[in-house]
């Protein structure tokens, strides 16, 4: 059983529930530790990111929850950094997830129509994928980032409408190249179940093709729900573990307050 979730959101960004409600849900679900990952402030994106002036209050809230729940469940304070944030320094978070939610003029995962517009802008799904996975490797140069968030977020809508083909050579080469660079930089890749709780998918991502390759090159994984409400705190964790095992993984990474260590399934 997976005993940690490091990726979820609260009313400080686009989540539905308070940090306290998320911690209580994690405790009820039997997790040993929970990390809340704030959407990094981005100018003009306050509808889904934390407003810059609220970041201090988030850090204070998380410190208080860490103290209050000591001995019951470990509470960590994380950040989901977006490449568009372009911040030179970040406050002292326990850990940072690095993600890419935008490509050219469009959000990658906002609506299906926008995902289609994104492909139209690049001329084909493969070219859009190349344009996505190339810049994603910039996360390799950001030492404070430990985890690569939802590596193939592009495929969020694939079960409803197959927009991308993860087995096409161009797509695969672009994704593999990004994975290899990020893995060489020591990044951990999350298996993300967030699209399951939001009803877009029945399976976690990354795609098995990518996870098998990641396993072959000695990559490390963690398992995260990217929950935006308390009822999704461990949504899809059994499916994520089954996916990881089917791709050859025997362990996942757990954050212990100082660093990451492997834990067997």
Residues contributing to the site for Zn ion (CB under 5 A): 80, 99, 226
Q: Which is nearer to Zn ion, 226 or 241 (CB)?
A: 226
Write out the two tokens for 25. Answer: 């849900």
Q: Which is nearer to Zn ion, 179 or 224 (CB)?
A: 224
Residue 224 CB, shortest distance to Zn ion, in Å, is 8
CB neighbour list of residue 17: distance below 8 Å, 6 or more residues apart: 10, 11, 25, 229, 230
CB 200 within 8 A of CB 233: no
Residue 137 CB, shortest distance to Zn ion, in Å, is 17
Q: Which is nearer to Zn ion, 73 or 153 (CB)?
A: 153
Q: Which is nearer to Zn ion, 99 or 197 (CB)?
A: 99
Q: Which is nearer to Zn ion, 168 or 200 (CB)?
A: 200
Q: How many CA atoms does the CB half-sphere of 31 hold within 13 Å?
A: 27
Residue 218 CB, shortest distance to Zn ion, in Å, is 25
**∠ Cα 254 255 257 (to 5°):** 150
For the chain, where are the alpha helices, taking DSSP H only?
19-28, 55-68, 112-122, 125-136, 169-184, 194-197, 208-216, 237-246
Residue 97 CB, shortest distance to Zn ion, in Å, is 7
Residue 92 CB, shortest distance to Zn ion, in Å, is 20
CB 257 within 8 A of CB 74: yes
CA distances from 136 to 44, 100, 149 (A): 22, 7, 10
CB 236 within 8 A of CB 225: yes
Q: Which is nearer to Zn ion, 126 or 226 (CB)?
A: 226
Residue 123 CB, shortest distance to Zn ion, in Å, is 26
């Amino acid at each position: 059983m997976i005993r940690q979730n490091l990726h979820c959101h609260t009313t400080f960004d686009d989540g539905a529930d308070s940090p306290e409600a998320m911690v209580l849900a994690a405790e009820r679900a039997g997790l040993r530790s929970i990390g809340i990952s704030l959407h990094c402030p981005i100018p003009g994106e306050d509808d889904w990111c934390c407003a810059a002036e609220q970041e201090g209050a988030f850090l204070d809230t998380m410190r208080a929850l860490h103290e209050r729940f000591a001995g019951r469940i470990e509470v960590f304070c994380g950040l989901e950094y977006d490449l568009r944030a372009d911040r030179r320094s970040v406050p002292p978070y326990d850990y940072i997830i690095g993600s890419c939610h935008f490509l050219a003029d469009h959000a990658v995962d906002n609506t299906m129509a926008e995902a289609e517009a994104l492909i139209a802008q690049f001329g084909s799904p493969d070219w859009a994928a190349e344009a996505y996975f190339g810049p994603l490797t910039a996360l390799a140069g950001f030492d404070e980032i430990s985890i690569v968030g939802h590596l193939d977020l592009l495929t969020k809508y694939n079960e409803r409408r197959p927009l991308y083909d993860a087995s096409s050579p161009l797509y695969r080469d672009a994704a593999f190249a990004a994975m290899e660079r990020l893995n060489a930089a020591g990044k951990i890749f999350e298996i993300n179940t967030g699209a399951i709780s939001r009803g877009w998918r029945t399976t976690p991502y990354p795609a098995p093709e990518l996870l098998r390759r990641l396993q072959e090159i000695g990559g490390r994984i963690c398992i995260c729900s990217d929950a935006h409400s308390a009822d999704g705190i461990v949504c899809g964790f059994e499916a994520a573990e089954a996916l990881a095992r089917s791709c050859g993984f025997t362990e996942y990474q757990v954050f212990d307050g100082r660093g990451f260590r492997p834990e067997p399934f």
